[in-house]
Amino acid sequence: MTALNPLQLLGVDHLLDDEEKAIQETVRRFVDDQVRPHVAEWYEHELDADTVRQLAREAGKLGLLGMHLEGYGCAGTNAVSYGLACLELEAGDSGVRSLVSVQGSLAMFAIWKFGSEEQKQRWLPGMASGELIGCFGLTEPDFGSNPSAMRTRARRDGSDWVLDGTKMWITNGTVSDVAIVWAQTDDGIRGFVVPTDTPGFSAPSISKKLSLRASVTSELVLDGVRLPADAVLPEASGLRGPLSCLNEARFGIVFGAVGAARDCLHATLEYARDREVFGKPLSSFQLTQAKLADMTLELQKGFLLAMHLGRLKDDERLDPRQVSMGKLNNVREALGIARECRTILAASGITLEYPVLRHANNLESVLTYEGTSEIHQLVIGQALTGESAFA
């Protein structure tokens, strides 16, 4: 009997218009040509700075950096197209999607949404082309889920600002030209645009990661970093500023996680068709088919959820609590799929010859960053009960 394409059992492609399909296909080809052939090597040996820069420039050429922003060299696509790009990038590797998310949805978005005209003109065109790389420093060694307690401080000295503190777990940090740093001031939390060649700024690399190895992660150390008065983002005041940026990146992850899960399922289906156990294809056993059916259901439900949120975002009706629902569900289910796929590949599943354990290990980080699964449960819990259970 002919096998149907399990990734299209619900015909979800019909939900996309021609332009969205074309963008998705372009990014899929980019991943096939420029990511898949190298990703196991990047994962094994960790991504080096030159490769990150090259990837950023290639992503810039395709218009993927800040792609849903208008003006300043950005592509200005709709939100669904941005989501589909994240999906295809994360089908390659979560680390590659991270590079694009942090650049576009965190660093560029912060400048685009909260920056002065001069800041936008100075940074955004170079970041859109991938010539300049940005990072986003919110988390600190002692404050991840609770950024409101951050210790990094910006004080006035004449008209200058002087920044002191440490940020932790910062994607792209080591390779960045510009860091968006969030700090306490006498007027609450403010954001600062910090050129990384400013004296007193350093970004020591965090190594020995077992997850997100095809992505650069670092500390940011700010030791008396002196900045001019116009380094502050004028339109961001309070925690609402950085949290608004997180909504953008979390939205990309809702789609991205589906891509990682799809890649796992795809590899597993091929493996199960080819692998014989007890004299028959592994795919012909009921237990295998039950696993494949359940995973396909979750994959398609996750895609439908992502598309629903994408259409709401394009209608400017997306609520951050809905993004929490999408991020919690799709990352949790993608991680479950990656682990279940690994059981079907059995011993072969633990190697880099197949993508499943690489994706599963990556998704452990994705479950934690951009708000842990527990934080998103609490956001949803608060929406349901009206009670805040954070503290």
The catalytic residues are 370
Residue 375 makes contact with ligand FAD by CB under 6 A: yes
Residue 140 makes contact with ligand TGC by CB under 6 A: no
| Torsion sign across C-alpha atoms 35, 86, 113, 146 | negative
- Candidate list 147, 195, 200, 381; residue touching ligand TGC; CB under 6 A: 147
Total residues in contact with ligand TGC, by rule CB under 6 A: 25
The nearer residue to ligand TGC, 342 or 376, going by C-beta atoms, is: 376
How far apart are alpha carbons 285 and 274 in whole angstroms?
A: 13
The nearer residue to ligand FAD, 213 or 291, going by C-beta atoms, is: 213
- Could you say which of ligand TGC, ligand FAD, none residue 244 binds, taking C-beta under 5 to 8 angstroms by partner kind? ligand TGC
| Torsion sign across C-alpha atoms 100, 102, 108, 112 | positive
Residue 296 makes contact with ligand FAD by CB under 6 A: no
The nearer residue to ligand TGC, 292 or 334, going by C-beta atoms, is: 334
- Could you say which of ligand FAD, ligand TGC, none residue 239 binds, taking C-beta under 5 to 8 angstroms by partner kind? ligand TGC
Q: At what angle do helices 356-368 and 320-345 cross, to 10 degrees?
A: 150
How far apart are alpha carbons 249 and 103 in whole angstroms?
A: 10
Question: By CB under 6 A, which span of 25-33, 47-55, 221-229, 362-370 interacts with ligand FAD?
Answer: 362-370
Minimum Å distance from CB 342 to ligand FAD? 20
Q: Give me the 83-122 binding string for ligand FAD, x by CB under 6 A, dash otherwise.
A: -------------------x--------------------
- Candidate list 81, 103, 247, 329; residue touching ligand TGC; CB under 6 A: 247
CB–CB of 216/49 below 8 Å?
yes
Minimum Å distance from CB 288 to ligand TGC? 33
Residue 171 makes contact with ligand FAD by CB under 6 A: yes
Residue 148 makes contact with ligand TGC by CB under 6 A: yes
How far apart are alpha carbons 171 and 148 in whole angstroms?
A: 20
Residues 176-205 that bind ligand FAD (CB under 6 A): none
In the three-class reduction of DSSP (H, G, I as helix; E, B as strand; rest coil), residue 360 is classed as helix
Residue 238 makes contact with ligand TGC by CB under 6 A: yes
Nearest to 360 by CA among 262, 270, 261, 282: 261
Tokens standing for 285?
């056993």
Cα–Cα distances (Å) from 145 to 11, 67, 149, 153, 278, in that order, read 38, 28, 10, 18, 49
How far apart are alpha carbons 310 and 313 in whole angstroms?
A: 5
CB–CB of 253/212 below 8 Å?
no
Total residues in contact with ligand FAD, by rule CB under 6 A: 21
- Could you say which of ligand FAD, ligand TGC, none residue 170 binds, taking C-beta under 5 to 8 angstroms by partner kind? ligand FAD
- Candidate list 26, 34, 244, 377; residue touching ligand TGC; CB under 6 A: 244
The nearer residue to ligand TGC, 193 or 269, going by C-beta atoms, is: 193
CB–CB of 62/52 below 8 Å?
no
What stretches of the chain show up as alpha helix (H) in DSSP? 18-30, 39-45, 49-61, 79-92, 94-101, 109-114, 117-129, 240-274, 286-314, 320-345, 356-368, 373-385
How far apart are alpha carbons 269 and 340 in whole angstroms?
A: 12
Minimum Å distance from CB 326 to ligand TGC? 12
Q: Give me the 171-200 binding string for ligand TGC, x by CB under 6 A, dash otherwise.
A: x-----------------------------
The nearer residue to ligand FAD, 68 or 97, going by C-beta atoms, is: 97
How far apart are alpha carbons 180 and 175 in whole angstroms?
A: 14
Residues within the interface to ligand FAD (CB under 6 A): 102, 135-139, 144-145, 169-171, 212, 217, 365, 368-369, 372, 374-375, 378, 390
